[in-house]
Amino acid sequence: MSQCRSQAHLLVTLTPEGTMTNIVRRRIELHCSLDEGHAGLHRDAENDEEWETIEGRPSTVVRHEDEKP
């Protein structure tokens, strides 16, 4: 069975101390690692993220991380 080829962008954001602004720290390409035709959410096992596809739109997943002191 071939692999699902769904892709998404993961944006890792953080809010620097003393600001109210979210900034993008990293962008990661997600690739679904499940089999083609699977049910449910797409999943990238390597990055431990799941997403759903909205037809006609690129999928973007946002993960917020607090800045470590």
Binding site for Zn ion (CB under 5 A): 4, 6, 32, 34, 42
Token pair recorded at residue 46: 């390597």
Q: Are 36 and 2 in contact (CB under 8 A)?
A: yes
Minimal distance in Å, beta carbon 30 to Zn ion?
A: 10
Minimal distance in Å, beta carbon 64 to Zn ion?
A: 24
Q: How many CB atoms lie within 10 A of CB 8?
A: 21
Which lies closer to Zn ion via its Cβ, residue 10 or residue 32? 32
Which lies closer to Zn ion via its Cβ, residue 6 or residue 61? 6
